[in-house]
């Protein structure tokens, strides 16, 4: 035998780590130092590459209403060999069995491959994207099996015209005392074209010294987060004001430019914010403050969410399936990791849509050390966090609701339109109505203006879908009609859930509620006597459903109220099924998707104070009325 190579026994290959192969001893020496088994070694070397994220999202049921111009992406948990990512190894079929002509590009920084179809995808079609085992990582290892997921294109051709926005930034705008060794990050409302996030489109300037800050820029497709890392060993200058700028050259995967805060929306523009550093660096290690499931718990449902909440923002590039994983004995569970920046919650989701195996003892691990999870200052987790739980045999009693094409709407006015008053309304997402476009007033999108006056100007950061006359068309009416039907289906799903408790006779103000279904015994829910706190208890997948046969009221005139999310709670998982109408008073901050046949009214005419809805206002029959309102569709 040639002394430079040797073969390895099948007993090792059968453990599931590697296919049968012959490796050079030089490579083995590089991978198996420190007395470790040269084949099994450490998990980052031994385990096959895995897919950590996709766009459109891999979900059950499949994502619907996807624009025909979509460019599917797949992100891996490790560096890949670019030459192996081709239209053969990463392919798309629309429908199944009908290949789509496309090109494939790989961005090494984000470990993301993007498939660009040569033409718009057919409408109302189930498309299947597949990554084959011909895709190899940088060491030449293949995935253990092909990875495939599906999505459904929109019923009518509805181009994605929604501009991406920044939903969360670190440091926060106007922050002071910022550590000098921090990285600057921004999380976006939707997936970006990775190649558009560069050192040219994401910059930091030292205003005090009048010089640009040298740094490197990376983008995590998994978390939709861009990060600027100063290249100087000392990081940012001490006691200085800095300005971070995200340029209009940043685009989403459909090619829409970033919506800026320095130009009149929805025109493309830069997102700019400033902060001031302190005199010292951050040397404090991050910790994990909450976990789910609880350590030692038994009988977990098969689709249980495994999550860890951090004490401070962490570097999303370090949140990989290698650093946060679940195993059954010595076998790693294949899955992906996501991160919600505002709540600092990382979540591990198994690739198997049915969840974890039944009656199985599992171990969750978040790794520390130089290659483990780190904060934005580069401090690693102080120690590995390891906990155990055991699954039962039952599927989770989920209350997830599929909004279909209605998910892209911030406001929908049934068959009666959408009206805005005031000059400070901004809607992140589409708006629509099955009524004529003449019943949309005080609003504009990137293409058309809908009956605006100097005192009534509202920005729609997506598109406006309504019926003829112009600018309404039969196509835009079809799109709106489908969204209305999808919203009705979601409403019916929520209403059909088994009723839950009414913890305070319809008054939710001042309560802290765990995830559950809550039903108003008297038919009305109000958040007027105080703020409502929704506590996910570390479960990033926690869902709240509020069933009200009649009305929903948030706040009182001159007495705004809030819905506050804590411990991993997410706005996308909060649902309000309202039998008649919903009302949000001026200055209030509401969270969740409100679906109400009689429509939704936000604030009162003449009020200048801003009212915020982190969710959606979907009227099935009646209108949605807005006054100086900010809507952010989750």
* Residues 597, 479 within the same domain: yes
Question: What pLDDT score was predicted for residue 398?
Answer: 56
The verdict on 438 and 469 lying in the same domain is yes
Whether residues 303 and 270 share a domain: the answer is no
In this predicted structure, the answer to whether residue 344 has a pLDDT above a threshold of 60 is: yes
Tell me whether residue 461 is exposed, middle or buried, using C-beta atoms within 10 angstroms of its C-beta: 0 to 12, 13 to 18, 19 or more. Answer: buried
pLDDT of residue 44 exceeding 60, the answer is: no
Decide if 621 is inside a domain.
yes
Assess contact for 410 and 162: CB atoms under 8 A.
no
Banded pLDDT at 32 (limits 50, 70, 90): very low
Q: What are the tens digits of pLDDT across the range 277-334?
A: 999 999 999 999 988 888 999 988 887 889 899 999 999 889 988 999 999 998 999 8
Tell me, what CATH number does 239's domain have? 2.60.40.1220
Are 507 and 426 found together in one domain?
A: yes
Q: Would you say residue 214 lies in a domain?
A: yes
Tell me the CA distances in angstroms from 616 to 135, 195, 357, 361, 413, one per residue in order.
Answer: 40, 31, 36, 40, 11
Residue 182 has which token pair?
């921090």
Q: What is the per-residue pLDDT for 28?
A: 36
User: What is the structure's pLDDT at 167?
Assistant: 84
Same-domain pairing of 581 and 505: yes
pLDDT one-digit tens code per residue, 46-82? 578 989 889 998 887 788 878 888 999 999 989 999 9
Label residue 495 left, alpha or beta by phi (over 0 means left) and psi (-120 to 50 means alpha). Answer: alpha
Dist. CA 239–CA 237, nearest whole Å: 7
From the list 47, 42, 20, 18, the residue with the least C-alpha distance to 31 is: 42
**In a shared domain, residues 326 and 199:** no
Tell whether 230 and 299 lie within a shared domain.
no
pTM comes to: 0.58
The answer to whether 214 touches 231, Cβ cutoff 8 Å, is yes
261 with 299: CB under 8 angstroms?
A: no
Please determine, for residue 586, whether its predicted confidence score (pLDDT) is greater than 90.
Answer: yes
**Residue 72, in any domain of the structure:** yes
HSE-CB of 369 using CA atoms within 13 angstroms:
8
Check whether residue 597 and residue 487 sit in a common domain: yes
Stated as kind and residue range, the H or E segment containing 10 is helix 10-13
CA-CA-CA-CA torsion for 491, 601, 159, 187, nearest 10 degrees? -90
Does residue 26 have a pLDDT over 50?
A: no
pLDDT tens for residues 501-560?
Answer: 999 999 999 999 988 899 999 999 999 999 999 998 777 778 899 999 999 999 999 999
- Assigned domain for 43 exists: no
**Within 13 Å of residue 194, how many CA atoms lie on the same side as its CB?**
24
Structural domain ending residue among the three candidates 126, 153, 180: 153
Identify whether residues 191 and 91 lie together within a single domain. no
113-136 pLDDT, tens digit per residue, is 999 999 889 888 899 999 999 999
Positions of E strands within 135-193: 147-153, 166-170, 184-188
Look up residue 243 and give its two tokens.
Answer: 């300005």
Total number of domains in the chain? 5
Q: Which of 336, 366, 391 finishes a domain?
A: 391
Residue 222 and residue 188 in contact, taking contact as beta carbons nearer than 8 Å? no
Rg (CA), the chain: 25
Q: Environment class of residue 605 by beta-carbon count within 10 Å: exposed (0-12), middle (13-18) or buried (19+)? A: exposed
Q: What are phi and psi of 536, to 5 degrees?
A: -80, -10
Q: How confident is the model at residue 153 (pLDDT cuts 50, 70, 90)?
A: confident
| d(C-alpha 374, C-alpha 317), whole Å | 9
Are residues 438 and 577 located together in one domain of the fold? yes
The beta strands (E) that lie in 551-623 are given as: 551-554, 563-566, 574-578, 582-584, 589-596, 600-602, 611-619
Residue 147: name the closest of 222, 57, 50 by CA: 50
Residue 95 contacts residue 127 (beta carbons within 8 Å):
yes
Final residue of a structural domain among 342, 370, 391: 391
Do 29 and 58 fall into the same domain? no
Assigned domain for 492 exists: yes
CB 100 within 8 A of CB 71: no
CA 337, CA 128: separation in Å to the nearest integer? 22
- Cis peptide bond prior to 469, omega within 30° of 0: yes
The parent domain of residue 10 ranges over: 5-36
Does residue 189 fall inside a structural domain? yes
Do residues 504 and 528 share a domain? yes
Q: Is residue 486 part of a domain?
A: yes
Exposure of 295 by Cβ count < 10 A (0-12 exposed, 13-18 middle, 19+ buried)? exposed
184 within domain boundaries: yes
Q: How far, in Å, CA of 385 to CA of 291, rounded?
A: 9
């Amino acid at each position: 035998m040639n002394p430079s190579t040797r073969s390895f026994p099948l007993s090792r290959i059968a453990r599931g780590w590697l296919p049968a192969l012959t490796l050079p001893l030089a490579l083995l020496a590089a991978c198996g130092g420190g007395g470790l088994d040269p084949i099994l070694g450490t998990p980052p070397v031994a385990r096959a590459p895995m897919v950590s994220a996709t766009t459109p999202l891999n979900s059950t049921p499949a994502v619907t209403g996807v624009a025909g111009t979509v460019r599917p992406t797949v992100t891996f948990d490790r560096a890949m060999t670019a030459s192996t990512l081709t239209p053969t190894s990463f392919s798309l079929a629309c429908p199944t069995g009908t290949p789509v002509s496309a090109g494939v590009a790989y961005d090494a920084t984000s470990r993301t491959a993007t498939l660009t179809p040569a033409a718009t995808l057919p409408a109302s079609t189930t498309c299947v994207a597949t990554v084959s085992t011909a895709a190899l990582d940088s060491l030449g290892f293949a995935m253990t099996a092909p990875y495939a997921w599906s999505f459904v294109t929109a019923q009518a051709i509805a181009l994605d015209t929604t501009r991406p926005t920044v939903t969360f930034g670190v440091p926060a705008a106007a922050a002071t005392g910022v550590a000098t060794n921090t990285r600057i990050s921004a999380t976006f409302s939707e997936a970006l074209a990775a190649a558009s996030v560069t050192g040219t489109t994401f910059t930091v300037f030292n205003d005090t010294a009048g010089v640009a800050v040298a740094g490197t820029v990376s983008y995590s497709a998994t978390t939709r987060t861009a990060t600027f890392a100063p290249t100087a060993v000392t990081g940012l200058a001490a006691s200085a004001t800095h300005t971070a700028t995200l340029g209009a050259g940043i685009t989403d995967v459909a090619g829409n430019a970033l919506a800026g805060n320095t130009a009149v929306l929805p025109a493309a523009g830069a997102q700019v914010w400033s902060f001031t550093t302190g005199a010292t660096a951050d040397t404090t290690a991050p910790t994990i403050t909450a976990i789910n499931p609880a350590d030692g718990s038994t009988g977990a449902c098969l689709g249980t969410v495994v999550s860890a909440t951090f004490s401070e923002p962490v570097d999303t590039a370090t949140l990989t399936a290698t650093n946060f994983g679940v195993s059954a004995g010595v076998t790693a569970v294949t899955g992906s990791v996501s991160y919600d920046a505002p709540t600092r919650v990382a979540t591990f989701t198994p690739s198997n849509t049915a969840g974890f195996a039944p009656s199985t003892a599992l171990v969750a691990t978040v790794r520390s050390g130089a290659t483990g999870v780190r904060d934005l200052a580069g401090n690693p987790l102080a120690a590995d966090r390891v906990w155990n739980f055991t699954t039962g045999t039952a599927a989770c009693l989920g209350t997830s609701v599929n909004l279909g094409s209605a998910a892209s709407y911030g406001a929908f006015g049934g068959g009666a339109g959408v009206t805005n008053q005031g000059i400070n309304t901004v809607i992140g997402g589409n708006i629509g109505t099955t009524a004529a476009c003449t019943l949309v007033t005080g609003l504009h999108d990137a293409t058309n203006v809908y009956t605006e006056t100097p005192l009534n100007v509202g920005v729609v950061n997506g598109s406006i879908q309504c019926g003829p006359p112009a600018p309404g068309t039969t196509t835009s009416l079809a799109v709106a009609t489908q969204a209305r039907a999808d919203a009705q289906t979601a409403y019916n799903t929520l209403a059909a859930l088994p009723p839950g408790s009414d913890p305070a006779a319809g008054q939710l103000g001042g309560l802290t509620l765990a995830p559950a279904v809550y039903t108003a015994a008297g038919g009305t829910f109000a958040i007027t006597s105080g703020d409502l706190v929704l506590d996910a208890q570390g479960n990033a997948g926690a869902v709240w459903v509020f069933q009200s046969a009649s009305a929903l009221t948030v706040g009182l005139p001159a007495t705004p109220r809030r819905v506050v999310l804590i411990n991993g709670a997410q706005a996308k998982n909060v649902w309000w099924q309202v039998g008649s109408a919903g009302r949000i008073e001026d200055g209030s901050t509401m969270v969740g998707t409100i679906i109400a046949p009689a429509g939704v009214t936000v604030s009162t005419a003449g009020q200048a104070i801003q009212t915020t809805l982190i969710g959606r206002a979907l009227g099935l029959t009646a209108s949605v009325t807005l006054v100086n309102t900010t809507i952010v569709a989750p």
